[in-house]
Amino acid sequence: MSIPQSGGGPIERYEQLVEYLESGCKPREDWRIGTEHEKFGYCRDTLLPLPYDGSRSVRAMLEGLRDRFGWAPILEQDNIIGLELNGANVSLEPGGQLELSGAPLRSIHETCDEVNEHLREVKSVADDIGAGFIGLGAAPTWTQEQMPMMPKGRYRLMTDYMDRVGTLGKQMMYRTCTVQVNLDFGSEADMVQKLRVALAQQPVATALFANSPFLERRPNGHKSWRSRIWRDLDPARTGLLPFVFEDGFGFERWVDYALDVPMYFVYRDGRYINALGQSFRDFLKGELPALPGEVPTLSDWADHLTTIFPEARIKKFMEMRGADGGPWRRLCALPAFWVGLTYDQDSLDAAWDLARQLDAETRDGLRVAASVQGLQGEAGGFRLHDLAREAVAIAEAGLRARAIPGARGMIPDETHFLNALQESVDTGSVPADDLLDRYNGEWDGDIDRIFAEFSY
């Protein structure tokens, strides 16, 4: 969710940065699930991306959701750039990708109901204006030049910066979509175990959800091109973070890492002030060139934490970030996977026993293999298909142990949300494999058929 953070006065001592993260610790009964997913909007007649303005546009989508379903608008410089309702947000990614940042909910039954209701609302408005929405990890046909830019100040700054620190950053911003889940932790020790599992198992999630095999109308040689992009974006703020696996890791070590990630901006009075490449450590001393003599607030710290993009990250909660956007049923499968692995202690311990076998070189190798080959990838003697089989089984046991019923008790637990992943484990095939089979088979190379057959 890329909207300004709020809350908190001036930072007067370093310990406040650590305390900010620690304040996210919650007792188990208060753990919640927040699902976020992005999707591409397009014009049904031209199959081109939705512009920001016009009768058939991103603005028209946001205004339609506001007027028809009661969402409250979020404005920046008089432009509508997001919505909020009942703890959930709709926000815009740089190229107009529409993102639902779901409310923190108790069960996957609830979060899936939320996803379903959101997609029904989006389709209702989109049908009226001649738009469509599709869930993929990367835009299959559009060039960088065809992508609009949303009127958000942070995106203008980030766009200018991306070519200085990598080669694929603008592709990430404008031509990719993800689904992620936000989860809670109970203590520093719980956070450490969960984050290590999250980073080590992230290549498995990338493989299971791989859904971006096309770029500019042809196969790109990867099952997850979105994952490939993240490997050449900005090494200062991406990756699998080997220091997390070192002895002594905790909130303070994360703070030190975050302080060394170069800044993007400072948000003041509705404006994004350019602080590209500057140091938050200097900001703490009142020596930030962008705001000389001024010290940061906790809101500035919260904003800065949103500009760090590893495969899993912590704020006051933990974000799992390694999956491609995808078809409807996999939007619920992602939270099922991670909740099953991390919200039951026996399953979390089993997931860590699996993850601790992988050294840093193997984890990095699996990350590459997942993006190129999906479940067929391997590194360091480990096959992603085998790791996925074990991980899905552990997640299923974790969901069964939670035993949270749905449908007024008609459904005994949350395990059925893993069905899509179990099918992949059984067949070795992920969404990208299906897309490539169709492209090389019945579609006869006509990539435009993806819109008719895979839109929401």
Beta bridge partners of 320: 181, 312
Distance CA 313, CA 295 (A): 25
Mean pLDDT of 338-366: 98
Mean pLDDT of 320-328: 97
Cβ(64)–Cβ(78) under 8 Å? no
For residue 352, give the 3-state DSSP assignment: helix
For 434, phi and psi rounded to 5 degrees?
-65, -45
For 279, phi and psi rounded to 5 degrees?
-105, 130
CA angle 335, 421, 376 (to 5 degrees): 120
> pLDDT averaged over the chain?
97
Residue 2 above 60 pLDDT? no
pLDDT for residue 409: 87
Beta bridge partners of 76: 79
Residue 339 above 50 pLDDT? yes
Query: pLDDT (tens digit, 9 = 90+) per residue, 236-246?
Result: 999 999 999 99
* DSSP-derived pairing of the beta strands 214-215 and 378-379: unpaired
Mean pLDDT of 4-31: 91
* CA torsion through residues 116, 202, 231, 432, sign: negative
For residue 308, give the 3-state DSSP assignment: coil
pLDDT for residue 407: 86
Query: pLDDT (tens digit, 9 = 90+) per residue, 132-143?
Result: 999 999 999 999
Beta bridge partners of 49: 42
Distance CA 103, CA 187 (A): 22
Cβ(358)–Cβ(380) under 8 Å? yes
Cβ(363)–Cβ(369) under 8 Å? no
Residue 6 above 70 pLDDT? no
Residues 6+ apart with CB under 8 A from 326: 135, 136, 137, 179, 209, 211, 431
Distance CA 98, CA 41 (A): 7
Distance CA 72, CA 53 (A): 19
For residue 283, give the 3-state DSSP assignment: helix
Query: pLDDT (tens digit, 9 = 90+) per residue, 48-100?
Result: 999 999 999 999 999 999 999 999 999 999 999 999 999 999 999 999 999 99
239 Cα distance to chain centroid: 14
Domain ranges across the chain: 15-454
For residue 407, give the 3-state DSSP assignment: coil
Query: pLDDT (tens digit, 9 = 90+) per residue, 248-268?
Result: 999 999 999 999 999 999 999
Mean pLDDT of 370-382: 98
Kindly indicate whether the domain formed by 15-454 is annotated with CATH number 1.10.1520.10: no
One-letter amino acid of 409? G
State the pLDDT confidence band at 1, using cuts at 50, 70 and 90: very low
pLDDT for residue 7: 62
Distance CA 345, CA 335 (A): 17
Cβ(61)–Cβ(125) under 8 Å? yes
Cβ(199)–Cβ(338) under 8 Å? no
pLDDT for residue 8: 74
pLDDT for residue 9: 87
Residue 161 above 90 pLDDT? yes
pLDDT for residue 110: 97
Distance CA 91, CA 98 (A): 6
Considering only CA atoms, give the Rg of the chain: 21
Q: Report the predicted TM-score, pTM, of the whole model to 2 decimal places.
A: 0.97
Percent above pLDDT 90 for the chain: 96
Query: pLDDT (tens digit, 9 = 90+) per residue, 165-213?
Result: 999 999 999 999 999 999 999 999 999 999 999 999 999 999 999 999 9
391 C-beta neighbours (distance < 10 Å), count:
26
227 C-beta neighbours (distance < 10 Å), count:
30
